[in-house]
Amino acid sequence: MLHSPDEVFPDATQLFVEKFRGVRYEDLPPEVVKITKDQVLDYFGVALGGSSEAAVGELRDLMLEWGGAAQSRTLVWGDELPAPNAAQVNATMAHSLDFDDVHEDAIMHPGVVAIPTALAMSEYAGGVSGREFIAAVALGTDFICRCGLATRPGESIHPYGWHLTTLYGYMTSAAVAGRLLGLDEEKMTYAMGIAYHQSSGNGQPVKDGAHTKRLGPGMAIRGGIASALMAKRGITGARNCLEGKAGLYQVYHHGAFSREKLIGELGERFEGVNVSIKPYPCCRGVHAFADAGLALASKHDIDPDDVKSILIECGEGTYGLLGSPLEVKAHPRNPVDSQFSIVWGVGSALARHRVTLDDFTADAIKSPDILGLTSKTDVQIDHDFDRGDQGIEPARVTVTMNDGTVFVEQCDLPTGTPSRPLSFADIERKFQALLAHAGQPISPAKAARLVDAVGRLEELENATDLIGFALQG
């Protein structure tokens, strides 16, 4: 729906400011508290596991070189840095594996923005309880997901080139930080306006296999926290940054947004309940294809040497992002390419009967077993699978064997969606598996205490206890 900026109504920014300041932990439905705790445990797992990935160490070294006030700590290493810088490092490590939580319809990674912001600001502000931490993360998740849901209804957002997590991450981080700083209504509004003035983020790194894909959320958080700190000191920002004549939806989307999806049932409906926890370390759009490949491998005990050809059928949106160009998707140039390839996801599932972190590394993309299958794979569009606007498109995988036998598997909803959720125990197992990939080892005792603390997060007097359990040693 196209909205004219001349319509008279309170800008949605003001409505969100009211909720960020007014909603208490006690106002959250139990299911929102549950998924928020799931997100927090999942965040720690993917952050610790991602701490050894390329670009994380380099970014950390740069932040240490810059130095500054000791306000917040990085995970794993415990470096004391200015809050925006520590949060940037912590977000980058969590997004580097492309294993973090996702809201499928909003095409959004909410936890990687809301949680590291809340961690850094809990240390900066002090005295933040577990309940207040949950409320801040839940509100941040709701806001960023609503922003994504409202964007260009009825259309795929991919042709427009925005990376929505980064784009909306600036204002989300500013609002989460502003809440934990206790900003009043005016300063919270200014914080979001200052953040809007920085908002950016594009999808070209996926096309080019660049590190900036994993850097985007951290950049947004660094800007968002800085915005809240500027507003606290009296610096002003635009008040109507979402719906104004030069607001985000006009400037970046030419008025194409749904106000109902943006603000409908605000304070009553929390989009966190629609967040999925990923079972596989790759783009969420790959997961239905990985599920289909794993089902084929399990049901038919497929021997990769007996495979003649593989056909992957997908919707047009999936094809453009994850299926083309075929040469790159079948022969990744780097790990980022493999994380964004349905061909690689299916190849890993069929070749190894698994889809794990070890299948998306610099060494893995040279593996003859997977490459032998991806070289036999073709990708075609089935327009019956087109979603047109948002969400995960279905997957169909057809495997033809050398003897002429044909196996077909279709997956409509991947594992981890709200209708097929991972349990807290499942997430704990994911967390434990990720610890082996940490840049520095976390002791089993600390890991166990971290899981326990997240499980009873609403009981913690000080949310910064979480960080102490996520440090090396």
Beta bridge partners of 395: 411
Domains in the chain and their CATH numbers?
Answer: 12-279+438-468 (1.10.4100.10), 284-411 (3.30.1330.120)
Residue 154 is encoded by which pair of tokens? 């009825």
Which among 341, 1, 43 is positioned nearest to 149, based on CA atoms? 1
CA distance 79 to 71: 10
Residue 390 is encoded by which pair of tokens? 């948002």
State the pLDDT at residue 5: 63
Burial degree of 69 (CB within 10 A; 0-12, 13-18, 19+)? exposed
State the pLDDT at residue 387: 76
Residue 324 to residues 26, 345, 370, 387, 436, Cα–Cα distance (Å)? 47, 14, 18, 18, 33
| Cα-based angle 149, 319, 298 (whole degrees, multiple of 5) | 100
> H or E stretch including 380?
strand 377-381
Residue 362 is encoded by which pair of tokens? 């610099």
Three-class secondary structure of residue 58 per DSSP = helix
Burial degree of 324 (CB within 10 A; 0-12, 13-18, 19+)? middle
State the pLDDT at residue 85: 98
CA distance 63 to 58: 9
Q: What is the pLDDT along the chain (473 residues), one digit of tens a residue?
A: 677 665 557 899 999 999 999 999 999 999 999 999 999 999 999 999 999 999 999 999 999 999 999 999 999 999 999 999 999 999 999 999 999 999 999 999 999 999 999 999 999 999 999 999 999 999 999 999 999 999 999 888 888 999 999 999 999 999 999 999 999 999 999 999 999 999 999 999 988 989 999 999 999 999 999 999 999 999 999 999 999 999 999 999 999 999 999 999 999 999 999 999 999 999 999 999 999 999 999 999 999 999 999 999 999 989 999 999 999 999 999 998 999 999 999 999 999 999 999 999 999 999 999 999 999 999 999 999 987 655 789 999 999 999 999 999 999 999 999 999 999 999 999 999 999 999 888 999 999 999 999 999 999 999 999 999 999 98
Strands 395-401 and 406-411: antiparallel
Beta bridge partners of 309: 400
CA distance 81 to 103: 31
State the pLDDT at residue 388: 61
State the pLDDT at residue 1: 65
State the pLDDT at residue 276: 97
CA distance 145 to 414: 19
Count CB neighbours of 327 within 10 A: 9
Strands 307-314 and 395-401: antiparallel
DSSP track, 382-445: -GGG--SSSSPPPEEEEEEETTS-EEEEEESS-TTSTTSPPPHHHHHHHHHHHHTT-SSPPPHH
CA distance 358 to 194: 41
Instruction: Examine residue 159 and say whether the peptide bond preceding it is cis (omega within 30 degrees of 0).
Output: no
Report helix angle 212-232 to 56-66, nearest 10: 30
Which residue type sits at 120?
A
Beta bridge partners of 240: none
State the pLDDT at residue 156: 85
DSSP track, 321-366: III-SHHHHHS-SSHHHHHT-HHHHHHHHHHHS---GGGSSTTGGG
State the pLDDT at residue 10: 85
CA distance 36 to 20: 16
Is the whole model's pTM more than 0.85, yes or no?
Answer: yes
Which residue type sits at 171?
M
State the pLDDT at residue 337: 94
Count CB neighbours of 258 within 10 A: 19
Residue 150 is encoded by which pair of tokens? 């409202």
